[in-house]
Structure 1
Amino acid sequence: MASNRTLSSPKRAKEDEERPDELIKYRSPLVSRYASAEMAFNFSERKKFSTWRKLWLWLAKAQQTLGLHITDEQLKEMETNLDNIDFELAAIEEKKRRHDVMAHVYTYAQCCPKAAPIIHLGATSCYVGDNTDLIVIRDAFNILLPKLARCIQRLSVFADEHKALPTLGYTHYQPAQLTTVGKRSTLWISDLCMDLRNFTRARDDLKFRGVKGTTGTQASFLALFEGNGDKVDMLDKLITQMAGFKESYLVTGQTYSRKVDIDVLAVLAGLGASVHKICTDIRLLANLKEVEEPFEKEQIGSSAMPYKRNPMRSERCCSLARHLMTLIMDPLQTLSVQWFERTLDDSANRRICLAEAFLTADILLSTLQNVSEGLVVYPKVIERHVMQELPFMASENIIMAMVKAGGNRQECHEQIRTLSQQAAAVVKQAGGDNDMVQRIKKTAYFSPIHAQLDKLLNPSTFTGRAQQQVSKFLSEEVRPTLKPFAHFLDEISQLDL
């Protein structure tokens, strides 16, 4: 009988015991494999619980300022122990009390015996929970914004460098009129500029929950200040300022409205859509061998096919972007089922979706920056593709030139129609190159314009105002958009930012 490999053996048990903890339990790849250290820390237990302690300290300071009997010694004790967190004790207490906030109130009190009586005075759990979430969300946006600006700047340099390089444009992924490599990339940049504005707006629209009490009425604080509503308002204002916010929400239930989370995740999902479109375009261009993402000297494209150069970074972006876009459904559903002043069915969901959304966005921007800094363009391949289609696109120009030389438009149209179908048959049926130009050169009917053909078929004359559009877009839209982030752009930009 075959042995059951899921059963533990003494040898395996010993190996597992000696193995680092992170290797014997599930770890989110968002943190273990991809995300930056700064974003991972922003959603860490250390950041969360040290922020809880700051909020308790700010509450006590504000209460002292407004006349409650809280001593400087108590405040000093609390301030000294902001980062002195006994996580093991907190875990034991939470298991016993089944309440994470009260477990940390108790843990904080253990190292602040003098301040213990006034920690969390008048507050409910959402005072630390929701206010910490808002601080973390604000800080997460502050991490993402420079990274997004950097991606825009890198792609802008690419657009400027290739603004005049003609390339085959596509509609419905079928050959259309020519554009330029730089003009195409401005379409990517334009979407990212919208994301930058949306991120900035969402961050700046955030307000603080402040001190609102169990159902948002501030009843407990009104009791503490013996019915003095002005002091309650000032308490809210003082703590809001200490947390670095300009305003607090004037009305809340026990929690701040979960519609705020919708606003936050909506702009992150929008970034996911932008990056997915950009990286899909790059993947398609890689298949055409016109543009490739960076590929290191020792990088392996396939374990079975050594010649392959798979666009793995762009594929990763598309994969993670899909995850990011789906996360918007969580806060939409959470808001819709928040009964009256609040229910607790939001908590577990928010622990996952808020962190994962920002971690995923962080990974997307880091990867996109890497891609945008190392895009490789192959002009000869692009030119070959252009010349496969350009003779067909030039038909109207050739007809106009013949008419100017004294020809009849209808006769010329029929000549072009016949030759273009013959050339198309060579391309589609024989797998050959488009030989329409050669056919025109061999046809006596077109002899009056034979000397003009090279000029008529110059790709740069088919790109319209693409080059000028790139320059104008970079100058009038991108430069002003990036100005506030100039000190984050650590490389000299060709846009003179």
Structure 2
Amino acid sequence: MSDYDKYTTPLSSRYASEEMSSIFSLRNRFSTWRKLWLNLAIAEKELGLDVISEEAIEQMKAHLTINDEEIAAASKQEAIVRHDVMAHVHTFGETCPKAAGIIHLGATSCFVTDNADLIFLRDAYDILIPKLVNVINRLSKFALEYKDLPVLGWTHFQPAQLTTLGKRVTLWIQELLWDLRNFVRARNDIGLRGVKGTTGTQASFLTLFHGDHDKVEALDKRVAELLGFSTVYPVTGQTYSRKIDIDVLAPLSSFAATAHKMATDIRLLANLKELEEPFEKSQIGSSAMAYKRNPMRCERVCSLARHLGSLFNDAVQTASVQWFERTLDDSAIRRISLPSAFLTADILLSTLLNISSGLVVYPKVIERRIMGELPFMATENIIMAMVEHGASRQEVHEAIRVLSHQAAAVVKEQGGDNDLIERVRQDKFFEPIWNELDSLLEPSTFVGRAPQQVEKFVANDVKQALAAFQNDITDVEVKLNV
């Protein structure tokens, strides 16, 4: 069959980066199994198992990366023995005849499958974290650039008190900072299953070392060291606890909510024509309506974020139904949900990097919308100014209330502009403050401490959070495939 005749997941074929796809590829999976078998043999030899020769170890080192022919051979072998790990033990042994008798010595299948999964989860987070750092960094620059630009605030998607564009963006950044904290915590908490045997008792290894408990413990620790892990789970069944998968996927699910909220805000602002995602010169927004500039990147983020958020439930349900030392009903779902979660998170971050690098702002549209609502918001300032000129607050309140209702009728019933200030200028009652109206309507006086909050937030919280990742920050442009 041609590849065009078979279903392939869009996560890898259409969206995800090559580096993330590579982690969960068959070649990397089977090559990692070989790396695990090699390091098990090295540690066993170091601890006195003379049956393992230097020639065996050297052959294994020379063939760590599995080639296409070996993958095909293992696939044929699996069809015969119906066991993927043993098929690869056989194939690796044929490639390394000096090591054929000691590959997988004392181990159970989960020595390679589970430990490999933990390596993949750690390495996948190592790809995600720098991307998240750069999203935060780029949005922080944008927030500083627009820290002083007043925008209409929205509560219930109804006009509310003014804020600034930069301040609004800090709301996204703060959630991303929490995601970064969660990513790092989850990554650093990942340990290795280690060398535990068929039900986690290490019985086979205790036999190999003739009852020497110290050597068995040393073997567990040494294999972890060789694979770059400082932590080995102290007890396991045949598998590492599937609760670990919950801890690994929870931060990704939480990040999905952040991404969805941010992309939704941009989509709404695009409808208001205040802010847009990047739009390429040759990009087509609609096959029928040539004028359209659809927020397709943000729509993609929302779509995939929903998928990522749902995968967390796979981990929760799987962990809850594991019987005693293990069952196999975890295997198929984990082959799908774990790679899918990281591939999806990778796509979301790459898309957010692209979006955050080219946001387009339309200040004139923003100003026009502000001036359509600001006269109503300024009524309290007008009342205060009149009182300072000796007027009765109650009389001023009634006068401005009447004019406000008249102006609202023009906007809502006639589709006209808000003319409240013109009505104030023409009403002799308000003559004492006519020359103050412009200053009373200056938008920058309605944003409170928003500019100062942006400056302090970026200088303190963002700077502190990104301090450990300075070598990861880059200005490289992120191009999306589609």
Question: For residue 411 of structure 2, what is the amino acid of its counterpart?
Answer: V
Give the C-alpha shift of residue 77 in structure 1.
1.1
Match of 1:61 among 28, 42, 48: 42
Give the C-alpha shift of residue 205 in structure 1.
0.6
Give the C-alpha shift of residue 83 in structure 1.
1.5
1:175 is matched with 159
2:15 is matched with 34
Match of 2:243 among 259, 268, 277: 259
- Structure 2 gap segments, 5+ residues each: 477-482
1:126 is matched with 110
CA distance in 2, matches of 1:41, 1:332: 26
The reply on whether 1:213 has 2:197 as its aligned counterpart is yes
Question: For residue 27 of structure 1, what is the amino acid of its counterpart?
Answer: T
Question: For residue 49 of structure 1, what is the amino acid of its counterpart?
Answer: F
TM-score (normalised: structure 2):
0.97
Note the alpha carbon deviations across 1:114-158, whole angstroms, 9 max, x for none. Answer: 111100000000000000000000000000000000000111111
Note the alpha carbon deviations across 1:268-294, whole angstroms, 9 max, x for none. Answer: 011111000000000000000000000
1:5 is matched with none
Give the C-alpha shift of residue 357 in structure 1.
0.2
CA distance in 2, matches of 1:46, 1:284: 43
The reply on whether 1:81 has 2:45 as its aligned counterpart is no
Give the C-alpha shift of residue 484 in structure 1.
1.5
Match of 1:344 among 314, 325, 328: 328
Structure 1 consecutive aligned stretches of length 4 or more whose deviation exceeds 3 Å: none
CA distance in 2, matches of 1:310, 1:43: 33
CA distance in 1, matches of 2:235, 2:382: 70
2:370 is matched with 386
2:398 is matched with 414
2:480 is matched with none
For residue 323 of structure 2, give the secondary structure of its aligned residue in structure 1: coil
CA distance in 2, matches of 1:24, 1:274: 37
For residue 179 of structure 1, give the secondary structure of its aligned residue in structure 2: strand
For residue 161 of structure 2, give the secondary structure of its aligned residue in structure 1: strand
Q: State how 1:307-326 maps to structure 2 within 5 Å.
A: 307-326=291-310
Question: For residue 23 of structure 2, what is the amino acid of its counterpart?
Answer: N
Alignment: residue pair count: 473
- Superposed CA RMSD: 0.8
Give the C-alpha shift of residue 459 in structure 1.
0.3
Question: For residue 348 of structure 2, what is the amino acid of its counterpart?
Answer: L
Give the C-alpha shift of residue 81 in structure 1.
1.4
2:3 is matched with 22
CA distance in 2, matches of 1:124, 1:271: 35
Give the C-alpha shift of residue 43 in structure 1.
0.5
Note the alpha carbon deviations across 1:64-105, whole angstroms, 9 max, x for none. Answer: 000002111111111111124401110011111111000000
Match of 1:435 among 416, 419, 425: 419
CA distance in 1, matches of 2:181, 2:224: 25
CA distance in 1, matches of 2:468, 2:130: 10
1:455 is matched with 439
Note the alpha carbon deviations across 1:18-74, whole angstroms, 9 max, x for none. Answer: xxx321211110011000000000110111000000000000000000000211111
Give the C-alpha shift of residue 113 in structure 1.
1.2
CA distance in 2, matches of 1:66, 1:487: 39
Cα 1:218–1:260 shift into 2, 3 Å: same
Give the C-alpha shift of residue 491 in structure 1.
2.9
C-alpha contact (below 8 Å) 2:224/2:231 kept by paired residues: yes
The reply on whether 1:71 has 2:90 as its aligned counterpart is no
CA distance in 2, matches of 1:115, 1:182: 62
Question: For residue 133 of structure 1, what is the amino acid of its counterpart?
Answer: D
Match of 1:228 among 208, 212, 218: 212
Q: State how 1:156-305 maps to structure 2 within 5 Å.
A: 156-305=140-289
Question: For residue 377 of structure 1, what is the amino acid of its counterpart?
Answer: V
C-alpha contact (below 8 Å) 2:34/2:64 kept by paired residues: yes
CA distance in 2, matches of 1:407, 1:81: 91
CA distance in 2, matches of 1:130, 1:328: 19
C-alpha contact (below 8 Å) 2:27/2:66 kept by paired residues: no
Note the alpha carbon deviations across 1:419-443, whole angstroms, 9 max, x for none. Answer: 0000000000000110000000000
Note the alpha carbon deviations across 1:165-204, whole angstroms, 9 max, x for none. Answer: 0000000100000000000000000000100010000000
CA distance in 1, matches of 2:474, 2:253: 27
2:410 is matched with 426
Give the C-alpha shift of residue 488 in structure 1.
1.6
Note the alpha carbon deviations across 1:446-488, whole angstroms, 9 max, x for none. Answer: 0000110000000000000000000000000001111111112
CA distance in 2, matches of 1:43, 1:209: 19
